[in-house]
Amino acid sequence: MTAAMRPQASACPACSAAPAAEALAEQAADKDARLALSVPTVHCAACISAIERELAKAPGVHSARVNLTLKRASVEADHDVTAADLIAVLDRIGYEAHELDVGTLSSTATDKAGRDLLMRLAVAGFASMNVMLLSVSVWSGAEAATRDMFHWISAAIALPTIVFSGKPFYVNAWSALKHKRLNMDVPIVLAIILAVATSLWETSLSGEHAYFDAALALTFFLLAGRYLDHRTRAVARSAAEELAALEVPRAVRVRDGEEETVQVSELAVGDMILVRPGGRMPVDGEIVEGQSELDRSLLTGETVPVFAGPGFGVSAGEVNLTGPLVIRATAVGEETSLHRMADLVAIAESGRSRYTSLADKAAKLYAPGVHILSALAFVGWYLYTFDMRTALNIAAAVLIITCPCALGLAVPAVTTAASGRLFRRGMLIKHSTALERLAEIDTVVFDKTGTLTAGTPQVENLGDFARRDLEIALALAMGSSHPLSTALTHAAREAGIKPAQVSDIEEVPGYGTQGRIGDTLVRLGRAAWIGAQPLAQTSAFLSLGEGQVRAFTFSDSLREGAAEAVQGLLDSGKDVLLVSGDSTGAVEALAERLGIEKWIAEALPEDKAARVQALTNEGKRVLMVGDGLNDTAALAAAHVSISPASALDAARVASDIVLLGGDLSPIADAVTTARAATKRIRENFRIATIYNIIAVPLAVAGLATPLIAALAMSASSITVSLNALRLR
């Protein structure tokens, strides 16, 4: 079915969230809960009815509605219905669902803007079509009273439309002028106003030329460009919001021995918080009770879990691996180390904001040029004829013909096409100039843990073990959900190993798993616990009693498409660097495996940012690809940055492009697409300039009629849009 292949981006994202927001406002009144679920696997008509039916049957649910375009279900229910109940309902009929944070999703303001633009665009389209028809009869020879009547009717349609539809331009132009700057909107507004004013004057004198159609067509084409631009950004924003909304920030607070689930924002310093295995630290704190191991890879890039016991300090963002921990919050919200990193990001980002987009560069050359040209034409003709009416007419014609109709469409049309293409490949362009910047890069810096590697360990030396040892190891590993144990279980099962008979298996949080075979104590866990020398590599030790100790070594598995991405970038002549916070051995091994010659290990977050900065100072354009908190500063400092969807929120916020899937291979491709897009944008500027070069002399010479203006404007706009579509 064709509909199934249509990308999400083709929907109208701008008009999608507003009803949600309205519903939210209504809900606030009757105190019912409104829940949003992301249902990524919904794809057909039968799915819609099945999901809606099942959800509606669930106790306490008032109504449920599936949005197939956004792959979301919104549910209105009694206050005590939780998302977990509904996820279980959907799970039973075979649909995977995730809770979305309704608060993060409500994007009323942005949505209103999209609808507002669409409405103005519709009115401008309606009016310009009517006026164009009236103009056609004028051009084909309507005379005297008939022509005047047609002009007056055109004026009656055009005036209110210009006032209503042109509002976005007036607002932008005014705010630019207030800051004593010129932007693309200033010549637009001037052209529209001058065209309408001279046309009115001409009409009142029963003149021949009126530019009502030109003024309206101008508004229509420019609004179309604005709307495209807005839509592209709205799609990106809504997808980015959905990513953020997936992490519902909740924590379990322990008070007087009772557990309660609260929003992370409600936590205060001194609160006791329970973090279960697999959970992420919501705040900075100190462990009061329990012992476990912590995965700090998102913060530091280290892959080896660290042991944590009472008195040990933890930072927000670390993942608890084995045992439940109770921590006392020492810093919450803005004070946490996670948020302090934002300062680093802010400093690094100030460099990037200096980038001027191609459109701005064009506007900088263009806006003064247009004004000067039209003023010269006015002065020249006034001195030549001493006739205000002729001079003003010609000045208006010059402004209309040079007006950046095609320029206004040139960039948005290309970015919409390119972003749509990349979105289908699983890349989300968050920043409006990200594509242009991506096209310029010559150096790529990769982070290791979580970016090039999947963050899931793989057993390396399974073949070195005797079958009996593996059977015991499997039996022990099955008793734990620690990532290393999971990896070991998986690998052993693949190899066809059956677990040995081990009794009294218990997990000792923070250390490992132990059990008994007859009278012998067998253990699988950390080196110190087993009594072995720790290795530099990620490893787990198996003790078979009587001093027999063997080590399982682990390597991080490559992320899907990582090899292709690196190879593709190397092939296209980019410099590829690997900068990681992990140990030298691990980084070197990975660099060799991927064919990366330059690598840096044990880098602190500051080192990473400094490295990127140093490259930038050498005149390189750096693309940074990273996911961890230790990468955020480097992500922000780079010319352009990419992070995977699995990255920490802070890293995603700092980067320009987010990879939605787990696959890295689109990166090399994206650079090619970005280059093609920039080439198209430049081509479009050139096309627009050529039209101007042909039409402007005519206008200055006073030979331009409204017919020529209309032809030049429509033809250039349509060529530019078609050229942009070639990108698909």
d(CA 476, CA 503): 10
Instruction: Kindly name the residue from 447, 469, 556, 627 that is annotated as catalytic.
Output: 447
Subset of residues 97 to 136 that bind another protein, contact rule: CB under 8 A: 115, 118-119, 122-123, 126, 129-130, 133-134
Q: Which of 11, 532, 558, 600 binds another protein (CB under 8 A)?
A: 11
> Do 293 and 484 form a contact (C-beta atoms < 8 A)?
no
Q: Could you tell me the smallest distance in angstroms from the CB atom of residue 25 to another protein?
A: 14
Pairing of strands 598-600, 575-579: parallel
- The sheet carrying 598-600 orders its strands as 427-429, 657-659, 640-644, 622-625, 443-446, 575-579, 598-600
Residue whose CB is less far from another protein, 14 or 638: 14
DSSP result, 78-113: -TT--HHHHHHHHHHTT---EEE-HHHH--HHHHHH
Structure tokens at 602: 């044990």
Q: Could you tell me the smallest distance in angstroms from the CB atom of residue 6 to another protein?
A: 7
Q: Could you tell me the smallest distance in angstroms from the CB atom of residue 155 to another protein?
A: 13
Q: Could you tell me the smallest distance in angstroms from the CB atom of residue 226 to another protein?
A: 16
Strand, coil or helix: 276? coil
Phi, psi of 227 (to 5 degrees): -65, -45
Residue whose CB is less far from another protein, 108 or 330: 108
Structure tokens at 235: 């799609």
Q: Could you tell me the smallest distance in angstroms from the CB atom of residue 2 to another protein?
A: 10
Residue whose CB is less far from another protein, 115 or 167: 115
Residue whose CB is less far from another protein, 118 or 508: 118
Q: Which of 70, 214, 487, 670 binds another protein (CB under 8 A)?
A: 70
Subset of residues 12 to 51 that bind another protein, contact rule: CB under 8 A: 12, 15-16, 18-19, 44-46, 48-49
Q: Give every CB contact of residue 19 below 8 A, 6+ residues apart in sequence.
A: none
> Do 110 and 16 form a contact (C-beta atoms < 8 A)?
no
Give CA torsion, residues 85, 86, 92, 97, to 10 deg.
Answer: -120
Q: Could you tell me the smallest distance in angstroms from the CB atom of residue 72 to another protein?
A: 9
Q: CA end-to-end span of the chain, whole Å?
A: 20
By C-alpha distance, which of 14, 16, 7, 33 is closest to 72?
Answer: 16
Residue whose CB is less far from another protein, 72 or 652: 72
Pairing of strands 520-525, 539-543: antiparallel
Structure tokens at 275: 């973090």
Residue whose CB is less far from another protein, 72 or 431: 72
Stretch that binds another protein, among 63-71, 503-511, 515-523, 672-680 (CB under 8 A): 63-71
Question: Which single residue is written with the structure tokens 């009517």?
Answer: 130
> Do 293 and 307 form a contact (C-beta atoms < 8 A)?
yes
Helices (H), 316-387: 337-352, 358-385
Q: Which of 25, 79, 103, 146 binds another protein (CB under 8 A)?
A: 146
d(CA 190, CA 166): 11
Q: Which of 9, 36, 61, 68 binds another protein (CB under 8 A)?
A: 68
Q: Tell me the β-bridge partners of 667.
A: none
> Do 447 and 619 form a contact (C-beta atoms < 8 A)?
no
d(CA 343, CA 349): 10
Question: Which single residue is written with the structure tokens 């020492």?
Answer: 330
Residue whose CB is less far from another protein, 153 or 708: 153
Q: Which of 69, 486, 520, 537 binds another protein (CB under 8 A)?
A: 69
Active site residue 556: no
Q: Which of 32, 54, 62, 67 binds another protein (CB under 8 A)?
A: 67
Strand, coil or helix: 515? strand
E-strand stretches of 413-511: 427-429, 443-446, 453-459, 503-508
Q: Could you tell me the smallest distance in angstroms from the CB atom of residue 167 to another protein?
A: 16
By CB under 8 A, is residue 342 in contact with another protein? no
Pairing of strands 640-644, 622-625: parallel
Subset of residues 561 to 620 that bind another protein, contact rule: CB under 8 A: none
Subset of residues 234 to 253 that bind another protein, contact rule: CB under 8 A: none
> Do 79 and 31 form a contact (C-beta atoms < 8 A)?
yes
Q: Which of 9, 55, 66, 97 binds another protein (CB under 8 A)?
A: 66
Total residues interacting with another protein, rule: CB under 8 A: 32
Pairing of strands 250-255, 272-275: antiparallel
Q: Could you tell me the smallest distance in angstroms from the CB atom of residue 215 to another protein?
A: 18
Structure tokens at 592: 């060799």
Compute the residue count for the chain.
728
Residue whose CB is less far from another protein, 118 or 252: 118
Stretch that binds another protein, among 62-70, 306-314, 497-505, 603-611 (CB under 8 A): 62-70
Stretch that binds another protein, among 7-15, 287-295, 689-697, 706-714 (CB under 8 A): 7-15
Q: Could you tell me the smallest distance in angstroms from the CB atom of residue 57 to another protein?
A: 14
Q: Which of 149, 375, 614, 694 binds another protein (CB under 8 A)?
A: 149
Residue whose CB is less far from another protein, 109 or 145: 145
What angle do the packed helices 108-139 and 706-725 form, to 10 degrees? 140
Q: Tell me the β-bridge partners of 337.
A: none
Residue whose CB is less far from another protein, 62 or 250: 62
Q: Could you tell me the smallest distance in angstroms from the CB atom of residue 71 to another protein?
A: 9
Q: Could you tell me the smallest distance in angstroms from the CB atom of residue 119 to another protein?
A: 6
Q: Could you tell me the smallest distance in angstroms from the CB atom of residue 59 to another protein?
A: 19
d(CA 549, CA 617): 51
Residue whose CB is less far from another protein, 146 or 584: 146
Subset of residues 468 to 497 that bind another protein, contact rule: CB under 8 A: none
Which amino acid is present at 532? A
What DSSP designation does 643 have? E
Stretch that binds another protein, among 3-11, 245-253, 261-269, 632-640 (CB under 8 A): 3-11
Phi, psi of 33 (to 5 degrees): -85, 140
Residue whose CB is less far from another protein, 130 or 486: 130
Q: Give every CB contact of residue 613 below 8 A, 6+ residues apart in sequence.
A: 348, 351, 637
Greatest Cα pair distance, the chain, in angstroms, is 115
> What residues line the site for another protein (CB under 8 A)?
3, 6, 11-12, 15-16, 18-19, 44-46, 48-49, 66-70, 115, 118-119, 122-123, 126, 129-130, 133-134, 146, 149, 153, 157
Q: Give catalytic residues, as residue numbers.
A: 447
